[in-house]
Amino acid sequence: MTDTCDNGRDAPRCVPASIPLLVTQKPLVQVRGLVKRYGGRVVAVDRLDLEVYAGEVLGIVGESGSGKSTVLRVLNLEERPDSGEYYFNTPELAGLNLFALDRPAQRRVRTFEIGIVYQNPHLGLRMRNTSSGNIAERLITAGERNYRALRLAARDALAASEFPLERMDDLPIRLSGGMQQRVQLAKAIALKPKLLLLDEPTTGLDVSVQARVLDTLKRLQRETGVTTIIVSHDLGVIRMLADRVMVMRRGRVVERGLTDQVLEDPQDPYTQQLVHAKL
Amino acid sequence: MPTIAELASPNPGYSYAFLDEFAKRELRRRILKAIAIPGYQVPYASRELPIARGWGTGGLQVTLSLVGPDDVVKVIDQGADDSVNAANLRRFVARMAGVATTTDALNATLIQSRHRIPEERLQEYQTLVLQVPDPEPLRSVEHDISKARLLHAEADYGLLWLRLYEQLVRYRRVTLGASYPCVVNGRYVMSPSPIPRWDVPKLHRAAHLTLLSAGREKRVYAVPPYTDVRPLEFADVPFRVEDQRGWTCRHTGLQHKFMSELPQPGGGTLYEISDTGFVEKVIARSRAAEVSIGATYYDDAGRFYIDGYLR
């Protein structure tokens, strides 16, 4: 049995046969040899390999400056890496290195296949546009030219992220931090992406709001089965959401494995330090 | 045909139509490029003129580079031939190029205009030059000009649609008045200069060539004859021209032409057709003078001449 089954998630997709899914399936997202430097000397990400299977939640933990947010920005095709390959195992994109695509093609991938939630809502939202407009923008980019359809889709996406619908036409700047994250989440899932990237989605929220946003994230992930990569320095968040975890330090992966395994029995000295600091 | 020597100014310090030959040649080349890529903004070296930037220098440079001794020139300012700006520019062009001028839209071969397209349908022998203060339709949504150019290059106009969406959410209608962005030939979005929404459909599959030139911003772009021009509109929220139903011109008694609103001291309002050249002809005809009035873009019931274009 796979770890996905052990967590009691995605029960219908667990084949009772003895072959684990991770062996039979190809990973949905594959990254090979990712290198990202800033200004020549700073190596933010150093030869990173990464695989995420369909329906899985991968957690990335590490201290500030370990390169985890850079990984997400590069995976969202916002920044070009210095080298590396990035594959999506979907029928349309199989065998294409996404890093090598031209800008319009990358934009299509970013629009249709990837959703992202940033820690800072100013990065993910247009503060001068209404909340529903922020979601509509994504659908417009995808080619929707019907006003009523845009309204309905924005409403659906906001409802799915448990946003109070009577405030859907308020400016995000007038919303609380938790609501802003819900708008970002609605924007991210509006087009039913294959990959959801969460960059410290609940950092900066107070504990009770954090718990409610995490509940929403967990429920959405369970219902849609969207493949997710979540970056956080909060091991509690990782423990709650992630199936597998990757520990990064100075742009390198120091340890990876099942979440419970890594957090209960860390092997690498840095991970041990991290876990003890938290617990 | 007159020779170049005959055309040359007797004063050796000046060349024909004020601009030097090199400047005119450069601008003509830019215009050809603009015609080849409908709606695309071509940069050009905007020259100094004896009028200030922002007073129609863009349009004037295009007019001066195209005008020849056989042309008949009309200059319009907000529909009027008799405003200070129009009179100034017309006199300047006439003096520098030695051409005839007119106020009759159908007699003119070259029409320079600010903010309006005449009510009578322009024909294939005519060129309309529009003065443009701000050529960049994306400016209100993307203030970084280099990013805006990338958006043009990738035909990524989502932000303009988002602006329409926002207006519908907030005001339940599109509040854009002049400079309504439109897609030219299915590719580039252009700002049709500050013409009212009423005039935007006139550009669609028009018989005449339209050149739009911004002197301060140093950009020229074009709508070639018989080119598709579509205002941005949602499938279920059609584009609408200004609603002036029930407005009657105080000079001619006509309706369904673009009107200027004249507030009266008593609190009432009078209306007059903004196209003064057209009004002149209508009045002349009512006094039994021989004038030919061409077919108009909007008929007397307010219907646009291309069926089905305005939903």
pLDDT tens digits, residue range A207-234? 888 899 999 999 999 899 899 999 998 8
Q: What is the CA radius of gyration of chain B?
A: 20
A106 touches chain B (CB under 8 A): no
For A275, residues 6+ apart whose C-beta sits below 8 A from its C-beta are A235, A263, A266
pLDDT tens-digit series, residues B227-262: 999 999 999 999 999 999 999 999 999 999 999 999
> What integer pLDDT is reported at residue A7 of this predicted model?
46
Residue where the block lists tokens 């923008």: A137
The pLDDT value recorded for residue B16 is: 87
By CB atoms closer than 10 A (0-12, 13-18, 19+), residue A106 is middle
Residue B238 CB partners (closer than 8 Å, separation 6+): B310, B311
Q: Are A220 and A160 in contact (CB under 8 A)?
A: yes
Task: Measure the CA–CA gap between B9 and B24, rounded to whole angstroms.
Answer: 15
- Parts of chain A with a pLDDT under 50: 1-11, 15
Q: What is the pLDDT of residues B150-188, one digit of tens each?
A: 999 999 999 999 999 999 999 999 998 889 999 999 999
Classified as helix, coil or strand, A100 is helix
pLDDT of residue A64: 84
User: Which pair of tokens denotes residue A94?
Assistant: 């199989």
Q: Is B158 on the interface with A (CB under 8 A)?
A: yes
Matching residue, tokens 């609103």: B261
Distance in angstroms (rounded) separating the CA atoms of residues B210 and A162:
51
Q: Which domains are assigned to chain B?
A: 14-138+169-231 (3.40.50.11310), 243-290 (no CATH)
CA angle at B20 for the pair B19 and B25, rounded to the nearest 5°: 95
pLDDT at A170: 94
Helix (H) / strand (E) element for A34: namely strand A29-38
Mutate to test the interface with B, among A145, A152, A165, A166 (most CBs of B within 10 A): A145
Give the Cα separation of A60 and A165 in Å (integer): 32
Nearest chain B alpha carbon to A106: B154
Rounded to the nearest integer, the mean pLDDT of chain B is 93
Here the ipTM equals 0.84
- C-alpha–C-alpha distance, residues A242 and A236, integer Å: 10
Choose between B73 and A41: higher pLDDT. B73
Q: Are A21 and A4 in contact (CB under 8 A)?
A: yes
| Helix residue ranges, H only, chain A | 3-6, 21-24, 68-75, 103-112, 121-124, 131-141, 147-160, 177-189, 207-224, 235-241, 259-264, 269-278
pTM above 0.90, yes or no: no
Mean pLDDT of the B13-18 span: 83
pLDDT for B270-310, tens place per residue?
999 999 999 999 999 999 888 899 999 999 889 999 998 98
Q: With beta carbons under 8 A apart, name residues in chain B contacting A103.
A: 150, 154
Asked if B179 and B194 touch (Cβ cutoff 8 Å), the reply is yes
Instruction: Name chain B contacts of A165, Cβ cutoff 8 Å.
Output: none
Please classify residue A113 by burial: count the beta carbons closer than 10 Å to its beta carbon, then call 0-12 exposed, 13-18 middle and 19+ buried.
buried
Contacts of B170 in chain A (CB under 8 A): 130, 169
How many Å apart are CA A26 and CA A29, to the nearest integer?
9
Predicted confidence at residue B308, as pLDDT, reads 87
In whole angstroms, give the CA distance from residue B240 to residue B160. 17
Share of chain B above pLDDT 90, in %: 86
- Residue B8: its pLDDT value, please? 66
Compare CB distances from B234 to A104, A126, A147 and report the shortest one's residue.
Answer: A147
Kindly list the residues from chain B whose CB atom is less than 8 angstroms away from the CB atom of residue A126: 162
